[in-house]
Amino acid sequence: MKITEILTPECIISELKSETKEETLAELSANFPYGRLNCDQATAVKVLMDREKLGSTGIGDGIAIPHGKMSGLDDLLLSFGRSKKGIAFDAMDGKPVHLFFLMMAPEDFPSQHLKLLAKISRMLKDTAFRKRLMEAASQDDLYSLIAKQDGLV
C-alpha cells in the first residue's frame, strides 16, 4: 500500500495553527471529504479524542499518529500536519509534537489500518526524513518528500 494512494496534497497542512490536542485533531480532519461520507467532522473528532483517552498516539521524537475507526467510511482517510513550534500532545516522551499523520479507517478495515500505521511508523523512524519534513518550505514540498520516502519504505 502506498501512502500517496490515500494522502492528497490538499490534506497536508504545512503549519498547523492549533494549540491543543483537540484543536489539532479538528484541524487535521477538516479537509476530509465529509460530503461523500456518512459522518461529519464533529463525529470524527469525538472518535479520535475517545481513542486518545485509551493512550496518547504521541509516540515521541516529535511524532504523533492519531487514528480512529468510524462507521460511514468506505476507505482510509489520511492527513498530515506540521507544527514548527510544537503542540503539547501528551507524547510518551513528554515533548511537544511537530509532525502529525492523522488516519481514519472504516470499522471493518483492520488489516489495512494496521498496515498503514506500520508503514508511517517505519517512515518516521528515519531521523533525516523527519528533519527534511521540518525544513520543507511548502505544502507541495512536504507532499514530494512524503511521496519519495513512501517509495523507499
- Taking the CA of residue 107 as centre, how many other CA atoms within 13 Å lie in the half-sphere pointing to its CB? 7
For the segment 52-111, what is each residue's pLDDT rounded down to a tens digit?
Answer: 999 999 999 999 999 999 888 888 899 999 999 999 999 999 999 999 999 999 888 778
Q: Contact, 140 vs 9, CB < 8 A?
A: yes
What residue type is 21 in one-letter code? K
Model's pTM, two decimal places? 0.94
CATH code of residue 94: 3.40.930.10
For the segment 96-117, what is each residue's pLDDT rounded down to a tens digit?
Answer: 999 999 999 988 877 888 899 9
**Mean pLDDT value across residues 119-137:** 96
Which range marks the domain in which residue 61 is found?
Answer: 3-152
The CA distance from 8 to 107, in Å, is 22
Q: Which residues of 17-30 are buried (b: 16+ CB within 10 A; e: fewer)?
A: ebeebeebbbbbbe
Cβ-based neighbours of 26, under 8 Å, separated by 6 or more: 18, 41, 45
Q: What confidence category does residue 46 fall into, taking pLDDT thresholds of 50, 70 and 90?
A: very high
Q: Contact, 105 vs 126, CB < 8 A?
A: no
Number of domains the chain is built from: 1
- Residue 85, CA distances (Å) to 41, 44, 122, 142 in order: 25, 25, 24, 17
67 in catalytic set: yes
Res 35 pLDDT > 70: no
Question: What pLDDT score was predicted for residue 108?
Answer: 81
User: Which residue in the list 44, 65, 67, 83 is annotated as catalytic?
Assistant: 67
**Mean pLDDT value across residues 27-47:** 84
Per the listing, cell 523507499 goes with 152
Q: Pick the more confident residue, 121 or 153.
A: 121
- Taking the CA of residue 26 as centre, how many other CA atoms within 13 Å lie in the half-sphere pointing to its CB? 9
For residue 110, report the phi and psi dihedrals to the nearest 5 degrees: -60, -40
